[in-house]
Structures are given as C-alpha cells and as structure tokens.
Structure 1
Amino acid sequence: MDPKITACISAASIVLTAVYFFGIVPWTKLIALCLCTGYIPWYFDGGPMRTDRSWPAFQKAGFWKAIGRYFPSRIVCPYKLDPKKQHIFACHPHGVGSINHGLTLTDACGFISEVFPVPRLDLSASVIFRIPLWREICLWLGCVDASRSMANKVLRAGFSTLILVGGEQEQVRARPGPGGHAAFLRARKGFCRLALAHGCTLVPVYAWGENELYATSRALLGPRLAVVRALRVALPLFWGRAWCPILPKKHPLTLVFGKPIDVEKVSGEPSKAQIDALHTRYIQALQHLFEETKEEYGKQPTATLKII
C-alpha cells in the first residue's frame, strides 16, 4: 500500500483513540468513524486494476435468481460456447442501468453455472469504482477497470470478458419503443483489436427489453452528449416505477447470444485493415442477430437497429 495512505490510516487511528478516551463524540458516532477508517485500505487497494477480486460464491448466491424473476429475465444461447476458448462478449444496448449485465455477472439465469462456466472478468466504466461500497459489489461480481491496459491484462491472464461496447453513448441515448434501438459502434473498434491480438472468439449479444425498463427524456440531449465526450460520464433523464423512479419497470428482459465469430490471433499489432474487416463482420453479425430475434424475443417486428 502507498506509504502516504498508511500514514493517513495511522494518524486517523490515533485521532479516533484520543476521541474515545476524551469522550469528544458519542460512542455511536465513534463506531461509524472506525468503520469508515477501516474501509479506507479497501478503497485504495487498486482492486479495479487487479484480477483477483471476484467472489464466485457471491456471484452464485441464491438471491440473484429472485431478483431475476422480478422482470422476468432469461438468457437465450442457441450456440455451443467452447469452454476451452477465450471469448469476448460484445453486448448492446447499454440502456439506462445496464440491468442486462447483471444476468451474466451473476447466476440469476444460470449463465455462470450452465451456459458459460468459465472464469471471466468484465470491463466496466471507471466511474463506478469511485462509489464507496458499490465499488466492492462490482469487484465481487468480477468487474474491472475498462482501460486498454487492464483489458489486455485480463486477456493475457486467460480470462474471457464481456464489454458493453456502446457505453455512456448508448446510456444517454436509451429510449423505449421500436425506434429506440441504436448501437454506438462506428467509432468503437477497440474490442476488435483485442480479439485479434489475443485470438478471442467474438460473440454478439443483444438485450431485448433493456431499453423498456425505464422511460427516458431527450431533453438537453446535446449538452448531455457533450458531457459524455468531455468527461466520459452519462447523465440520462429517466424514471422507472411511478412510486420509485429509480426502480426499473417489470418488463421481460431477454439476453440473446448470436453465433460466435472465430478470430485467428495475429502476430504483432493488428493492422487497421484487419481491425476494420473484423469490425464489419461483427456489425453484420449483430444486425443479423437483431433481425432474427426482434419478433420472438423483442416483440417488436417493426423495430430497426441503427448503427451510429
């Protein structure tokens, strides 16, 4: 641990001891201060940049299945996923809260125990690791920082990964209905570079129902997109249940996996031509998955997928 952090913890411990003996604050507040002080080492332990912070027992806890039944939710994977190969699952749409990600981070729908029982660490936005306690939950679920260096570290260590490719751009654009399907892909090619560099099978994934979980507003969309570009932080305007706006609506959520794209590992750094070719293949595979499943699982036969 950084010596400065260690020094701060030691100083805080001395102060708390003095506070206790001189009765400066009530004992209940002292307990709260002690808990906060004890949490500091965990908050600064570099967890988002490590590969050893996931907690399989937590991911498979029974209460996740109860949460999954709330929507209800399910996973549809008609193709055999080879457990001997590394996979990069590229998922759309992000939606307001990326609730669909919970279906693979946990065993809510049997993904971990039945569909793909292989070690996996998923790339997640850096901002979520700045929120105390929520940070720990994400780490236990197998999330790591979505930086390029961490992505390569995860794949070099032999893990598979899932990426919400559209990220904040899809989050701030999320809207329900047949006309709300958009995949922010034109400028996102890093996942293709990773697949080529590490020889990972690339799997398109679409989350039907994700955009229906919250009503959204397009008010001030321009300024909010500017915030996304400048700060990499999304500010969606949304509401869920009438009595609790942050709670998602009870709408069926179905995560559908497309046909895996076999990718041959290239020697050295992937070229622009190789990345562009795989990117084109992926877009075609995603569009095919969308068209093939929009009526059965999306219940939106007139829906179209916009690639932006």
Structure 2
Amino acid sequence: MKVEFAPLNIPLARRLQTTAVFQWVFSFLLLAQCCIGIFICLVLARVWLLLALYVLWLYLDWETPQAGGRRWEWVRNWPVWKYFKDYFPIRLVKTCDLDPQHNYIMGFHPHGVLVAGAFGNFCTNYTGFKELFPGLTPYLHILPFWFRCPFFREYIMSVGLVSASKKSVNHVLSKEDGGNVSIIVTGGAEESLDAHPGSLTLNILKRKGFIKVALKRGAHLVPVFSFGENELFQQVSNPKGSLLRCVQERLQRIMGLAMPLFHARGIFQYSFGLMPYRMPIHTVVGRPIPVKETSHPTQEEIESLHQQYLGALQELFEEHKKRYGIPEHESLIFI
C-alpha cells in the first residue's frame, strides 16, 4: 500500500484542528482505561488519604450522572472544541423554532462510529446551539458504564454528558417550566456496527423506550439527522451473518459496548490510522412532534407515536438529502 504523507506546509490552523480531533479520539478510546490505570497506581503506591477522599467523593456523588450531571461551561468553551468543530467541519442546522416552555427528546440518527456530530453540537458551545435554540439546555445521554470509571466520569460530566438510564432521562425531562432537551442516540451502540460510508440503515423499529418516556413526561419529540456521520471512517466488512458480525453482536450483548473495527487516516499521513476523515457533518434538527402527557400510555398509543416519529424522521431526511449529497433514489432503511 502506498502511503500518502501530509505536506509540510500545512497551515497552523489545520494542524491545531488535527491535534484537537486526536485528543478527542484518544479520550473516546483510551482515556477511561488511563484513568483506571492511574487509580490502580494510586492503590499500589498506597496513597491512602487521597484514595479515601476520592472513594468518599464517589460514594456521595454516585447518583449525579443520573441527576442532570455537573456541566462546566468553562470546559464546554475550551478553544480546543472550536478546532474540533472546524476539522470536519460540523454544522448545526435549524429548521424551526423550539418553544423553551416545553421539554424535548431529540432522537439523534445515525450513531456513526464515534458519534462526532452529537458531541460537537451538544457537548461544546461552538456550533451555536444556545443561539439557535435560546432557553434550551441540551443533555447528551451515553451508556451508564462510562460513569463508573474513576476520574473519567468527572471529565465527561463537565461537557454535559449524562447517563442513558431511564432514571436519568426522567430527571432531565422533569423540569416543570420546560427548557431541557434529552438527546438520545436511539440506535445505540448496536447501530455503530452498520456505520459504513453510504449506509442509511437505522436500528429503530424495536427502539420504543424513548417514545414511552416522551408520553409519560409530555416531552415533545424532535427527529435529528446528522448527514455525514457515517462517512468519517471505513469499517471492516461485517455483513449480517458473518463470523465477525456474530462475534461483535455477542460482545455487544455481554458488555453493552459495540466493537466496530474501523480505520481512516493518520496524523501525518492520509492512508491509514484511527483519525476520522475530514468530511462535513450537517446535523439537521427537525420539527417537533407535540406529545400530550399520558401517565399510563397504552401499547397502541406507543405504537402510534412511534410510527408518527418514523414518518417525521423519514420526511426530514427526504427534505434535506439532496442538499447534502445523498442521491435521489436513496432512502432510510429501518430495521
């Protein structure tokens, strides 16, 4: 394989963009393991006072990821996130106003490999969420597993990440005067296994938990489609029924984490590595679906609202696909 190296005269801004994305990929893939390693080193070094204080903190703070987290605007405003956004670049596209007197559930599609669009738009302040949707506060929900990692949990909460547990979603949507937005990547980790360039497969037909919560809380539903999310990485071929896919699905059921085997470009060359390609991401926020609060929704009500949501998502995709390079004959595939 011929290696295509990056030229030496790349502008400083682009080098800073690459550095910003590198630290994000590192954080996503290895920072949790490093934090666990640091904790183990402290145990081996017998730094008992420090360990005792932190363990006490964990005990007192254990439920915080399920109670709205602990965002820190200073971290969300770090300049590194501006360079992160500009690398792709990431754009947040508004189609209509959202009334801040309501709470909302935004269903984010597709998952992609590393959910770059969701992080860039809802965990940093550089794509204009606050300006586009004044009065609303976004909360991006991720697997509860990550909040069990010492030290790492503090970092991810600082950017506005919270647990994807039912308790956490209900807490966010319990604000009586509205203004909160739960962003749920509804396809989950399982959908990342279908995150191939050009793929339009969404794992959603059996995902109805967010519909039930929306009904119980009276939270309006908003479909969100992130064009370009699946174009950031190449993934080793893993069609349904293949040995690799069977192993991946088995691990996903056991661990709750998907293990896509992906690659793209490197830091100093464009031929291989774990850095995403510089492909634009346009995250389009659709029109809200009004939801009436129903304390005990029936299965028929859940199914009806789910079908309404699928229709709105399909409509959003069809309305914008041509603008973002999707051929006219291509359509979403729901599984």
TM-score (norm 2): 0.76
The correspondence for 2:316, drawn from 289, 293, 301, is 289
Q: 1:181 to 1:132 in 2, by over 3 A?
A: farther
Q: Distance in 2 between matches of 1:16 and 1:137?
A: 22
Deviation at 1:50, TM superposition (A): 2.6
Structure 1 residues 69, 36: closer, same or farther in 2, change over 3 A? farther
Q: Once superposed, what is the RMSD of the aligned Cα atoms?
A: 2.5
Deviations 1:60-105 (A, max 9, x none): 3333222101101101112111111111100100110011111122
Structure 2: runs of 5 or more not aligned: 1-42, 239-243
Whole-Å Cα distance in 1 between the matches of residues 182 and 190 of structure 2?
Answer: 20
Counterpart of 1:121 (choices 139, 162, 167) is 139
- 1:3-42 matches, within 5 Å, as 15-16=46-47, 39-42=54-57
Distance 1:300 1:128 in 2: 38
User: Residue 99 of structure 1 is aligned with which of 116, 120, 123?
Assistant: 116
The answer on 1:74 being equivalent to 2:122 is no
CA distance in 1, matches of 2:70, 2:107: 22
> What residue is the counterpart of 2:301 in the other structure?
274
Within 1, Cα distance between the matches of 2:69 and 2:163?
Answer: 13
Deviation digits for residues 251-288 of structure 1 (CA, Å, limit 9, x no counterpart) = 0011011111111111x221111110000000011111
Q: Which of the residues 65, 69, 75 maps onto 1:48? A: 65
The answer to whether the aligner puts 1:191 opposite 2:191 as a matched pair is: no
How many aligned residue pairs are there? 279
- Are the equivalent residues in 1 in contact too, given 2:122–2:138 (CA < 8 A)? no
Please show how residues 101-250 of structure 1 align to structure 2 within 5 Å.
101-102=118-119, 103-158=121-176, 159-177=180-198, 180-219=199-238, 220-243=244-267, 245-250=273-278
The one-letter code matched in structure 2 to 1:293 is H
SS at match of 2:213: helix
Give the equivalent residue in structure 1 for 2:21: none
- Give percent identity, aligned residues only: 33
- State the one-letter code of the partner of 1:182: T
In the other structure, the counterpart of 2:34 is none
Show structure 1 runs of 5+ residues with no match: 1-11, 18-33
8 Å Cα contact 1:104-1:112 kept in structure 2: no
1:88 to 84, 105, 123: 105
2: CA distance, partners of 1:54 / 1:291: 35
Q: CA deviation at 1:144?
A: 1.6
Aligned with 1:263: secondary structure?
coil
Q: Which residue pairs with 1:25 in the alignment? A: none
Separation of aligned partners in 1, 2:157 and 2:69: 9
- Judge conservation of contact 1:66–1:108 (CA < 8 Å) in 2: no
SS in 2 for 1:222: helix
Cα 1:153–1:295, aligned 2, differ >3 Å: closer, same or farther?
Answer: same
Residues 139 and 161 in structure 2, CA contact (< 8 A), matched pair in contact too = yes
Q: Secondary structure at the match of 1:69?
A: helix
Task: Give the drift of 1:245.
Answer: 2.3
Give, in whole Å, the separation in 2 of the partners of 1:270 and 1:133. Answer: 39
Contact 2:122 2:140 survives alignment (8 Å): no
Q: 1:298 to 1:111 in 2, by over 3 A?
A: farther
Contact 2:144 2:164 (8 Å CA) reproduced: yes
| In structure 2, C-alpha distance between the alignment counterparts of 1:58 and 1:114, rounded to whole Å | 20
Offset of residue 136 of structure 1:
2.2
Q: 1:218 to 1:294 in 2, by over 3 A?
A: same
Q: Which amino acid aligns with 2:93?
A: V
Mean CA deviation greater in 236-245 or 101-110: 236-245
Compare CA radii of gyration and give the structure with the larger one. Answer: 1
Measure the CA separation in 2 of the matches of 1:132 and 1:101. 24
Distance in 1 (CA, whole Å) between partners of 2:146 and 2:152 is 7
| SS across alignment from 1:85 | coil
Kept in 2: contact 1:91–1:204 (CA 8 A): yes
Alpha-carbon spacing, 1:247–1:135, altered in 2? closer, same or farther (3 Å): farther
